[in-house]
């Protein structure tokens, strides 16, 4: 009985490894290059939408369809203003852009500088870079 359980686990492990290796081999290995101009337009569109009180979940159906992930925005933070700092730098298939956000706070506004990763292909995405502050 113990032998059968070990055999099944080994077989399942080998099968999982085979599937993982075959899936990894399917990609061309080259990421889609980012279109910096399109990425900057997408970021500005997302931030303008936030500033106007829009919901990040409505961005996939906006004039510039995209997926947006920003935990502060999603949790209800109010964007008073923003400043894009520079043109950004390509990072793999993303454009990493530094932005100074001014968020509404109790009594006074709070400023913070954050980074966004914007992808333009195969789909437009704007994600807050949690790894860089």
Residue 29 has pLDDT above 80, yes or no: no
pLDDT at 4: 52
34's CB contacts (< 8 A; 6+ apart) are 90, 93, 94, 95, 118, 119, 120, 121
User: Which residues form the domain of 104?
Assistant: 36-128
Based on the fold, state whether residues 15 and 66 are members of the same structural domain: no
Based on the fold, state whether residues 41 and 7 are members of the same structural domain: no
Q: What is the pLDDT of residues 69-90, one digit of tens each?
A: 999 999 999 999 999 999 999 9
* Whether the model pTM is above 0.85: no
Based on the fold, state whether residues 58 and 123 are members of the same structural domain: yes
pLDDT at 22: 44
Based on the fold, state whether residues 119 and 56 are members of the same structural domain: yes
pLDDT > 70 fraction of the chain, expressed in percent and rounded: 77
Based on the fold, state whether residues 40 and 63 are members of the same structural domain: yes
Using the structure block, give the residue that is written with the tokens 């059968």. Answer: 4
CB count in 10 Å sphere of residue 41: 15
Based on the fold, state whether residues 102 and 46 are members of the same structural domain: yes
Residue 28 has pLDDT above 60, yes or no: no
pLDDT at 17: 45
**H or E element at residue 74:** helix 71-74
Partners of residue 90 on adjacent β-strands: 95
């Amino acid at each position: 009985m113990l032998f059968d359980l070990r055999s099944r686990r080994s077989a399942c492990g080998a099968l999982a490894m085979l599937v993982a290796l075959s899936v990894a081999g399917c990609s061309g290995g080259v990421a889609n290059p980012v279109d910096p101009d399109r990425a900057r337009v997408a970021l500005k569109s997302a931030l303008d939408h936030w500033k106007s009180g829009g919901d990040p979940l409505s961005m996939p159906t906006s004039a510039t369809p995209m997926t947006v992930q920003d935990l502060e925005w999603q949790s209800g933070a109010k964007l008073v203003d923003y400043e894009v700092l520079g043109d950004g730098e390509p990072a793999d298939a993303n454009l990493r852009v530094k932005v100074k956000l001014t968020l509404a706070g109790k009594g006074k506004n709070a400023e913070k500088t954050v980074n966004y990763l914007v992808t333009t292909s195969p789909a437009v995405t704007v994600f807050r870079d949690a790894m860089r502050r």
